Structure 1
């Protein structure tokens, strides 16, 4: 979990997705979901946020 630019980002390793929450935790948006498409994650290990980009280390992609 990390905080950046007024938003909270959380990785759920079991589900394989990353969500973005507002500071008040009332609104949620998926950054990426679990799946095999190029924009999805298979086995996300960790992530970081820099400016408006979320970088993900995904052990499931080749």
Structure 2
């Protein structure tokens, strides 16, 4: 029996990704690197929430701690 292959795609926009990256960089710069882990998690969460693999949306629940 042949399996149905479900769709995989990314539904985030390039401008949104650039915006989140700039916000993360500014947070890192203004806190002298202390909040880098938080900024990185913020960007990873955005990327995961806009990615669908085999019909399942990814979920990121990491923390900066």
Q: Same fold, TM exceeding 0.5?
A: no
In which range does the TM-score fall when normalised by the shorter chain? under 0.3
* The structure with more helix, counted as a fraction of residues: 2
TM-score, scaled relative to structure 1: 0.24
Higher relative contact order (CA 8 A, sep 6+): 2
